[in-house]
Chains A and B, each alone.
Chain A
Amino acid sequence: MPERDLRTERIQQERKKWRKDHPFGFFAKPNKAADGSLDLHNWTAGIPGKPKTLWENATFPITIAFPEEYPAKPPKIKFPAGFYHPNVYPSGTICLSILNEEQDWRPAISIKQLLLGIQELLNNPNPDSPAQEPAWRAFSKKKDEYEKRVKLQSKQYANKD
């Protein structure tokens, strides 16, 4: 019996579930390789900002990379480098407990739960775990500047109507 590829099986299941049902405004799909085949281990996804927040009317792009050990280890989820948010590292890596193996990652957390968690984080940053200086400093000291920058970023990723 060949060794089972738990990672791929789980990702296929996640994909099936996602296609059957996913929250409004979100998208998530495997990348296409150069030859047109699907790269199941690397996904691209979009997270809509919640309405009536600084983040509304925009969809923020993320990449999801599933490591070999997935689902024992969490996928690596990143915003584009330089993304403006107190809990996003300059590289785009997101500082969120459910994405951290050492903290709250659990193997049964679904893609949907992860993406909803990130959407929640957008407008509710955690000031106790700063990941980049500019956004964190502005968020805790200069709210005006923070809001201005976030709105500008939302415009950059605005939904095309």
Chain B
Amino acid sequence: MSDDDVYDSYDDYDDDDGYDDDFDDEYDDEMMDDDQEEDYEVIENTSEHYSYPKSQTEKGTKTHRMIYDPLAIEDVEKQLQDKIDTLNSVLMIGKDACALLLLNYSWNETRLQDLYTSQEQEKIRLSAGLPAEPPRPTDPMFAGPLVRDADDDFMCFICCSDAEPNMKTFHCRYCNHLYCTDCYARYVRDQLKMKKTMIRCPDGSCKMNLGLSEIQELSEYLEEKEKKEEEIEMTKHTGALTSDEIAKRFQQDEYDPDYQEYDDIESIVQQREEEDKVFHFDERINERIKKEKIDRRQSTLIFHYWYVIASQYCNTNSKIFKFCPFPDCDSIIKLKGFDSDEVANVKELADKLFVPTVKCHENHSFCYNCMEEDHAPIPCKMCKGWLEKCKGESETAKWITVNTKVCPKCESSIEKNGGCNHMTCGSCRYEFCWICLGDWKKHRDNYNCDVYKPDEAAEERKAQTRKALQKYMFYFERFDNQMTSIKKDKALVESLETRIKKVQMDSGASWIESMFYREAIETLLACRRTLMWSYAVLFTCPECIGKRVLEGVQKALFMEVEKLSKLFESTDTKSVISKKGEFQDCKISLKRAQLTLTDVFIDQLVNKKVVLEGFTNL
């Protein structure tokens, strides 16, 4: 605003002599350009993620990019804290009260602001477990710390303990229902376990709710207490060692010739140091941070409280916030919209046969619509249909492989329906032995058995089913092959840490330098997955020109996958670093092939150049 004012006055001044107008315009334009550029950069910097890298495929099909933010639960907590701060800056009634109001009004701050300033204020406060009127802060009962020394005549009604030295009482800020702090904390913990965020005073008739600062105080009390207990435990242990015992130990160290523990320890320490030298701590530190985060969340009341609040918030806004479906991952994806106004929500996107693949904070890829592991390029519905078919058909397929054999002459499958080994092929009448598949005539002709005579119509039906099954088996085998490869490669990733360590040891490379190895494996896994699902798409694809196109790009991706896979197999850990360039090249062309495949598949499916068929539930 003030900038404009300055320019205005400057303009006025210029108008007088009418000289510098052009310069002024130019200057303004320049300013605008700068602004735009800045805006642009800002957009680039914010981590907006897209489910597809471009808003159009190479064939020109709109991809209706899904814009999303991968978040950690702490990010959501931060956002909610900001909401509380914002509301408090308007209402000025304290963060505790604001948090309770927001919790009670599903975080709808605009509605709260309107309502709170209206006649309804008292009602709103009461329903959020706050006193009807904002209390005066000077009241001694309600000011200052809430954890206090118990009076002599105090008795906690929850545990029925009488006052004793060091006993502390606690009460929530706006009522005088005192309970011992241990009971209070246990109660809050139980409530949090039940995922309650509006925690009432334990008294049956009291309607006051506990606020953030009260839970914070309880939390601090517990931590303090735990620390003290630990200290007591420590002194106990050291106290148990008398000076005699210490002396004895020293003697043992000095004189006992068999006492070689120290040597062992030294060698272990040395080994550890060696390991640490080659093995960068990044990974371990991250892991430890993650573990500590979870521990803290479980043991610290206030962190647990925030965790419950944030996850509840995400669950109630489940159209925008979704948890990563991977086990032990509590990352969140926040949907921000689409870069086209033709789709309004994820379901519509999926109905158009796009796959809204997202990548969470921890790098897990999954489909935002059906919440399954990434299944691009197959659309959600068909993915489900395929999996169901696999479940049903695998039984049939299994039965066929177990119970039938292929006629050695005409290759039709034959079921052995009797105990005899003299087989006659139903279609070509070739007689052979079930056991050795050899010509029966050359067999010793002393078996007494029935010749299998098929019924013609049944045979026809069977042939058709078999044909369909053969097509299915063709694609299933390829699908399954990739799935098995993924599983094997995953095992590789799991042993990656040791492998990378070995790469580092063998080649003397640093952690960063060997990162390409991990990236290559991860790319390989992702591409195998894409390839796997492309087989399922092809199964449902009728014979047409479009199918040839799909097969073309699929083959290209297959070749690239094989190439990188081969490179992994043929490279021993010693020569990995020297082949870095090769790995990088392979990875890049593999990624390109994956992108082309998804692009082409999207184009063919979405523009209905290929209309998939085959699943009854479509």
Contact = CB atoms under 8 A, between A and B. Distances in A.
Interface of A: 4, 6, 9-10, 12-13, 71-72, 98, 101-102, 104, 106-110, 113
Nearest to B184: A107
B157 A13 contact: yes
A101 B183 contact: no
Contacts of A107: 158, 183, 187, 202
Interface string B193-226: 0100000111111000000000000000000000
Interface of B: 157-161, 177, 179, 183, 186-187, 190, 194, 200-205
Contacts of A4: 159
10 contacts: A4-B159, A9-B159, A72-B186, A72-B187, A72-B190, A106-B202, A106-B203, A108-B203, A110-B204, A113-B205
Contacts of B194: 101-102
Given A107-B183, A108-B179, A6 B159 contact: yes
A9 B159 CA distance: 7
Given A101-B194, A106-B187, A106-B200, A71 B158 contact: yes
Given A107-B187, A108-B177, A98 B204 contact: yes
Interface of A is mostly: loop
Interface of B is mostly: loop
A117 to B, nearest CB: 8
B264 to A, nearest CB: 41
A10 B204 contact: no
A80 B157 CA distance: 30
A113 B203 CA distance: 10
Contacts of B177: 108
Contact of B160 (A9, A98, A102, A106): A9
Nearest to B187: A107
Interface centre among B159, B194, B200, B201 (most CB of A within 10 A): B159
Nearest to A112: B204
Contacts of A10: 158-160
A76 to B, nearest CB: 17
A12 B155 CA distance: 14
Nearest to B205: A113
Contacts of A6: 159-160
A59 B491 CA distance: 69
Contacts of B202: 106-108
A35 B183 CA distance: 35
A143 B157 CA distance: 42
Interface centre among B160, B186, B187, B203 (most CB of A within 10 A): B160
Contacts of A12: 160
Contacts of B204: 98, 106, 108-110, 113
Contacts of B159: 4, 6, 9-10
A108 B157 contact: yes
A47 B159 CA distance: 26
